[in-house]
Amino acid sequence: MADLAMTVDTDTENKQSHNLKDYVFTSESVSEGHPDKICDRISDAILDLYMKHDPQSRVACETLTTTDSVVIAGEVRGPEAITKDMIEGAARQAIKDIGYAQEGFNWETVDIDIKLHKQSVDIAQGVDAGTGVDTNEGAGDQGIMFGYACRETDVLMPAAIHYSHSILKSLADARHSGAAQGIEPDSKSQVSLEYRDDKPVRATSVVVSTQHAEGMTQEEVKEIVRPHVEAVLPEGFMPPEEEFYVNPTGRFVIGGPVGDAGLTGRKIIVDTYGGSAPHGGGAFSGKDPTKVDRSAAYAARYLAKNIVGAGYADGCTIQLAYAIGVSKPLGFYVNTHETGSVPEAVLIDAINKLVDLSPRGIREHLQMNKPIYQRTAAYGHFGREPDADGGFSWEKTDLVEALKKAV
């Protein structure tokens, strides 16, 4: 019996000594030239084309890429004036802007097959106000959406995904300007951070794999990449040299759709919080804002960011749930992860007074019926600066003062 007691006491001691606030967490990003991101960019370029001609257009556009080929499929409802030539032109321009003029995937010569059809009338009647069972404008589909914000970075995003995005964005900017000669569009990053007492203190490892021109050595590519990592990571965060990996296979010449097929919506964790928060499963790109997969996920981020921005929590997760054809949210969940200064129920009550969380209410509050979506297709939909034309409106903290008054 004494031996058993000793075992139990030792086990208890081990559990108490294990600090769950000390850990390593990893997130990854992919560049605008990654095959999946090419597809996201094309889908959102077509969405913007429709939104520019008619802000009430309905678009659910999916893209597939592989060697020398692009396939565009889905459903649309918009101006008849938008022709296949215009859609093809938008796709080619997106590929050109990314920087693909390579053998096997060239913006001028790639084959583009367009298979868009009209939106289902069964779906449309659930979304159009006054035509479905709910006389108000309903959600375009059922689903759950999450938003998240935390104090790890000045943009209230988790640090690992924010740094992963920023490294690739810096490298892409240098490639576009000509400052990174020999670097090609397809690249990936991965940042592992050590946390102490729930706060990031250093990178334990950084991985960057980037497509490059024939004849470049691994060391040459590493020295091009290095300053972009050093510029992004906070002082003292750079990992040991042996944990800084660049093109760890030694060569990355074959890339883009020549190296791997791409699909719209296959990088949903990259698009959001890098695994630091839950994800409902619905992709964003190619969907107009009647689709709550997109608009409600943006709204959830907006609300979480304003709660943290108002000082009511150090971290906040929000979930919204909808049913097709129903205007009201079926679920509204707020979790401040034991960092909140007021009860979650108080925050929910305040938000319900300030923001109409119906699909139409979200779109109108965030002014989402605009051609603002192509810019979201790479380097994250969140943690970006709001644009003067309404892009990234969900990143504003303009609800903070009203939230303080309401609480």
Q: Is 52 a catalytic residue?
A: no
Q: Is 18 a catalytic residue?
A: no
Indicate which residue of 287, 360, 381, 384 is catalytic.
Answer: 287
What beta strand segments (E) does 81-142 contain? 101-102, 105-106, 111-118
What does the block give as tokens for 43? Answer: 């889908």
Indicate which residue of 58, 165, 169, 266 is catalytic.
Answer: 266
Q: 3-class DSSP state for residue 207?
A: strand
Indicate which residue of 267, 305, 360, 384 is catalytic.
Answer: 267
Range 105-110 contact pairs with CB under 8 angstroms and sequence separation of 24 or more = 105/65, 105/67, 105/68, 105/256, 105/257, 105/258, 109/68, 110/68, 110/69, 110/70
Q: Would you say 154 and 161 are in contact if contact means Cβ atoms under 8 Å apart?
A: no
Q: Is 252 a catalytic residue?
A: yes
φ, ψ dihedrals at 235, nearest 5°: -60, 130
Answer positive or negative: Cα dihedral of 81, 120, 45, 110.
Answer: negative
The one-letter amino acid at 111: D
Indicate which residue of 25, 28, 32, 37 is catalytic.
Answer: 37
Q: Is 21 a catalytic residue?
A: no
Q: Is 287 a catalytic residue?
A: yes
Q: Is 199 a catalytic residue?
A: no
Q: Is 364 a catalytic residue?
A: no
Q: Is 291 a catalytic residue?
A: yes
Query: 111: which strand partners?
Result: 69
Indicate which residue of 175, 291, 301, 381 is catalytic.
Answer: 291
Indicate which residue of 261, 321, 323, 402 is catalytic.
Answer: 261
How buried is 338 (Cβ within 10 angstroms: 0-12 exposed, 13-18 middle, 19+ buried)? exposed
Indicate which residue of 105, 146, 237, 252 is catalytic.
Answer: 252
Q: Is 188 a catalytic residue?
A: yes
Q: Is 75 a catalytic residue?
A: yes
Indicate which residue of 32, 40, 44, 293 is catalytic.
Answer: 293
Q: Is 37 a catalytic residue?
A: yes
Indicate which residue of 34, 41, 77, 363 is catalytic.
Answer: 34
Indicate which residue of 62, 152, 288, 395 is catalytic.
Answer: 62
Active centre residues (catalytic) = 34, 36-37, 62, 75, 188, 252, 260-261, 266-267, 287, 291, 293
